[in-house]
Amino acid sequence: MSEQRPYDLDAEQEDALIESEFKQLLDGYLASPHRKKVEIIERAYRFAREAHKGVRRRSGEPYILHPIAVARIVSREMGLGSTSICAALLHDVVEDTEYTTEDIEAHFGKKIAELVDGLTKISGGIFGDKASVQAENFRKLLLTMSKDIRVVLIKMADRLHNMRTLGSMAPAKQFKIAGETLYIYAPLAHRLGLFAIKTELEDLSFKYEHPAEYERISELLHKSFASRESAYNEFAAPIRRKLDDMGIRYEAKARLKSVYSIWRKMETKHVPFEEVYDIYAMRIIFDCPEGMSEKELCYKIYVMLTELYTPHPERTRDWISVPKANGYQALHVTLMGQSGNWIEVQIRSRRMDEIAERGFAAHWKYKIGAGAEREDSELTVWLKTIKDILDDPTPSAIDFLDTLKLNLFSSEIVVFTPQGELLTLPADSTVLDVAYSLHSEIGNHCIAGKVNHKLVPLSQRLASGDQVEVLTSKTQHPRKEWMQILTTAKARTRLRKELRREMQPMIDKGQALFDKFLDENKIEKSNEVLTSILGHYHISSRDELMLKLGTGELSLDNYRDSARGESSFMKRLLSLGSFGKKKKKKKASAEPDALTRVISDGKHEITITRPEKVNTKEVYTLEYHNNGRNFMMPDCCHPLPGDDVMGFVRDDGFVEIHSLTCPRAQLLKTSYGSRVLAVEWKRDPEALFIADIQIEGIDRQGILQDLTRAISEALELDLRSLNIEAHDEVFSCRLSVRVSSTQDVADLLRKLKSIDGVKRAGRIKV
């Protein structure tokens, strides 16, 4: 570790800084409603400071500042008490020093030791610096959650502080950490109701993945602040007067849409910043007087609002009668403001607001009362769903994370059984999802359903308020294609488990054939060998490979006989896994036929060069020209020079690039972080790439000629395809052009938008 001190402080100044940071932690705790267990917190701080003595973070600052900062987040931003604060202060002691969990228990008791132990067990893999291909550490986290959810809350605080200080890390490490934060931590924060933390994690991830866009949108928000504030004050003034007249104690404030949320809307809706109209909403937080229910006062305020402004008929949301699965409660109404834009107003009690911001972390404060049983049961139901996912014994890491993601970050609907039981499900859930949510056997034998007393197929998508009856038959059995119509993680896990049970004999047979193939060729069994075979045959999982072998659909013996002496893949496979021959891997990868690969883009033959050695700690330069480049572009996304991209070192040593918005990129960063590269474009204006453009507008005679003229004549771009459709005087056009960079696309979009009749034009991205 470097001995460089932060901010050029000497030892005395540094000591004063540490003590000052701890004092701020203690002051915040003393101002909270918790019992004042100051002595144990001070002991935990002294213990952690001594344990981490002399150790520094990558930024050069003393390591102890990190656990102090985590403890402050746990205390001030989550509202947790002394046990969690002590565990936060001690969370890295067992992992990074000579002290053991037994030492922690001896000094601080069993409960704090259990929390520290839980945090230590999940310190590696997906939640640490070592990028594990396996999802085992995530499993450990979720299992620990079912015992004491404070473990995941402290882990969330740990990640939040790491994201706040991510600037000191290498670019590739920033990509990895930001990627898994956006893919796992932000959805997990959302699911736990930690809205403020979820929003900050998203914004920080976006800042490191798309720095230019982050700065651009931030600057646009800054420039439009005055006009936005004026519009808000104009809208809010009549509401404030009415609330004052009603004698309500309240706080009214503007809720600004986050930079990441604005960008996501611009990307998904293909609209510019100027057309994002819901940048702010109004939030009314009231103190409920004695003798009146929160729900009653919410609706009194709602009636007052609808007397002032016209409500949107389809955008009123009652999350009070039916709270969200993460405990969120509020009444939302969207009103037509004076400026002609729809503005959302969120009505909450003080209790609802604290739970909305701090989620399950705030529930303990409100365990007394009628709402406590419901809040606790919602948490219990969600943790039970997580346990169902964990019961699936052998998913791949990516399948596991994907399945979990379904349950973490999804819009929700509420449906009812014929008996009136309420079920909260992700949006787009089907009758089959309902069947599996009730019981595995009901799902396995589901043949159809009745939705609002009407017979529907098991693939029928449901809407909030539907009454759903599941119909079953003993002759029905699960089918693999059902996986395509399921939305919930629980249903997918239960179906996968049943399919595996039915296919297990064939999978076992395939495994025996696979093991025999490895033994006969003296190939040592390893994840790298299995990954190479899966990639070669374009098979997504181990079970699928074994099933194909077991049923005879695939034969490794036949492939070996036909390829012996000819296949570079077979040579590489044999050298990759042969007993006692692992060191020959470098020699095999240096063969001339493995250094290059030739592909066609429909117009040119392109030679792809494989780098001899890639240093993942340095920025990899993407070099290209018309007939050659040092990277590959997979089919999942088609980035252009100028886009924010990442590199990934494949099993065969070639570097492939992905747009940072590509779903595949998110999975790679989360599961294979050690092979992710920070990259930069080395521009060559002669090299061309395909860009897809979507145009919408008012149809008129001559519009097609104007479009093609703008493309081919004014900008001299090579038009590859064009498809235009018109319905009721409105047209939609999709075209593909060859461009050298995102700047060409920007120039084209400006030209297209200037054409009479064109209302919207944007690039289609992943």
The string of DSSP letters for 237-248 reads: HHHHHHHHHTT-
Conformational region of residue 233, where left means phi above 0, alpha means psi within -120 to 50, and beta covers everything else:
alpha
* Helix/strand/coil for 337: coil
Bridge partner residues of 471 (DSSP): 448
Name the residue among 78, 9, 75, 5 with its Cα closest to residue 45. 75
Give me the helix-helix angle, 556-563 and 489-520, nearest 10°: 50
* Helix/strand/coil for 434: helix
Name the residue among 760, 755, 686 with its Cα closest to residue 714. 755
Helices (H), 246-329: 259-269, 294-308
Q: Report the number of secondary-structure helices (H) and strands (E) in the chain.
A: 32, 21
Strand (E) or helix (H) holding 517: helix 489-520
Instruction: State how far the alpha carbon of 720 is from the alpha carbons of 352, 455, 712, in Å.
Output: 55, 47, 11
Do 508 and 550 touch, CB atoms closer than 8 A? yes
Buried b (16+ CB within 10 A) or exposed e, 739-751: bbbbebbeebbeb
Query: Which of 14, 42, 95, 376 is an active site residue?
Result: 95
> With helix as H, strand as E and coil as C, how does 31-74 read?
CCCCCCCHHHHHHHHHHHHHHCCCCECCCCCECCHHHHHHHHHH
Amino acid, res. 408: L
∠ Cα 684 686 689 (to 5°)? 85
The number of angstroms, rounded, from the C-alpha of 73 to the middle of its chain's C-alpha atoms is 22
* Helix/strand/coil for 615: coil
What's the sign of the alpha-carbon dihedral 29, 33, 38, 42?
negative
Backbone angles phi, psi at 616, to 5 degrees: -70, -10
Helices (H), 521-633: 527-536, 542-551, 556-563, 568-577, 585-589, 592-595
> With helix as H, strand as E and coil as C, how does 365-432 read?
HHCCCHHHHHHHHHHHHHHHHHHHHHCCCCCCHHHHHHHHHHHHCCCEEEEECCCCCEEEEECCCEHH
Do 130 and 124 touch, CB atoms closer than 8 A? yes
Decide if 102 is catalytic. no
Amino acid, res. 315: R
Decide if 234 is catalytic. no
Give the CA-trace dihedral at 37, 43, 44, 48, to 10 degrees: 160
Query: Which of 42, 96, 267, 428 is an active site residue?
Result: 96
The burial of 8, by beta-carbon neighbours within 10 Å (0-12 exposed, 13-18 middle, 19 or more buried), is given as exposed
Quote the tokens at residue 262. 């604005």
Q: Which residues are catalytic?
A: 95-96
